[in-house]
Amino acid sequence: MLPAMPGSLVPIEGLVRYLDDRFGPSPDTPTVSRLGEGHSNLTFVVERGPDRWVLRRPPRGDILPGTHEMHREFDVMKALADAGMPVPVPVPIDLCRDDSFIGAPFYLMSYVDGVVMRGGVPEALAGEERNIGFDLSDKLADIHGVDWEGAGLSQMARKPDEFLSRNLRRMQELYDAVRHREVSEIDEVGEWLRTNQPPQRDVTLTHGDYKLDNVMLAPDKPGRIAAVVDWEISAIGDPLVDVGWMLYFSPEGGGVYPSRAEIAERYSNRSGRTIDDLRFYCAFAGWKIAIIMEGSNYRFKQGKADDSMFAALDAGVPALARRSLEIISAGV
């Protein structure tokens, strides 16, 4: 009996069957190691002899409908790669919808030599903070400039001009579904957002979770993005939702990293898009992540999620929403 990954996330026996079916038999037993610290879809490095791939699969536990869809990530990256769009992505290799191999659908993509910025700039990129911040903004503008219809992504467009309204409604529904305690800050922000929703002005490809730890940086100077990853909630919709999310999660300058105002201006100049209502979109970002994390908190308390990070969410969720209230009060 071959060993399995902890928690049977990638059972080796099933992986062997898949790799043999897809790429041909090999005398080498594959090895699997966890890559990154993501708390949503899970990422692993798979090595078999001279071959190395990256595997993505959904998390364990109950999954809300419309989330963690492997085909969405795969289809977007394949469209961008095949069409030669100016957005760097790993090369998608194979999508497996059959969950009989590892207990869940998954896909393989190429391994990218790069680093993810979590908890500070890697030592090799020290001094490159401004370049990294500006390239983050530039790549988002490039994503929003993609000819999504020409790239074959029209199937993702579901009344895209109603994207913002649908997002607001959908997030409230998600919150109502996991509500297990009163978090007055979430309710207060939600009421303000519904009262102050601006008209949606544009429709583009959106990433949905665009921030520093969802891009891979080239390992050497100058600071630049080698690949944009984690496309699991990409959609055709309002680009300013992405902008607000990026800014909400961006560190505030301090003379090292670009300020949020500088990043927003850089995006505006590159995209040619006027950015109004940033207060709304940044507050919306904080409200969304507070609701998402409250869902994780709910599953953790039910024993359906075992990530130790979730133990801090009783206090962490209100803090996320309070930051949205601060943005509403004082601006971005």
pLDDT per residue as tens digits for the range 160-199:
999 999 999 999 999 999 999 999 999 999 999 999 999 9
Assess whether pLDDT exceeds 60 at residue 65. no
Q: Compute the distance between CA of residue 222 and CA of residue 272 in angstroms, rounded to an integer.
A: 25
pLDDT of the residue at 3:
43
**Structural domains of the chain ordered from first start:** 6-110 (3.30.200.20), 123-330 (3.90.1200.10)
Q: What is the pTM of this model?
A: 0.90
Spacing of C-alpha 268 from chain mean position:
22
What band does 121 get if pLDDT is binned at 50, 70 and 90? confident
Residues ≥6 apart with Cβ < 8 Å to 236: 148, 153, 156, 157, 158, 160, 163, 203, 204, 205, 206
Extended beta strands in the chain, E state? 31-34, 42-48, 51-57, 92-96, 106-110, 204-206, 215-217, 225-228, 235-237
Assess whether pLDDT exceeds 50 at residue 1. no
pLDDT per residue as tens digits for the range 235-286:
999 999 999 999 999 987 667 899 999 999 999 999 999 988 999 999 999 9
pLDDT per residue as tens digits for the range 68-119:
578 899 999 999 999 888 899 999 999 999 999 999 999 999 999 999 888 7
Residue with more model confidence, 295 or 311: 295
* Tally of CA atoms within 13 A in the half-sphere of 112 that contains its CB: 23
Contact 97, 42 (CB under 8 A): no
Contact 290, 186 (CB under 8 A): yes
What band does 206 get if pLDDT is binned at 50, 70 and 90? very high
Residues ≥6 apart with Cβ < 8 Å to 218: 114, 224, 225, 226
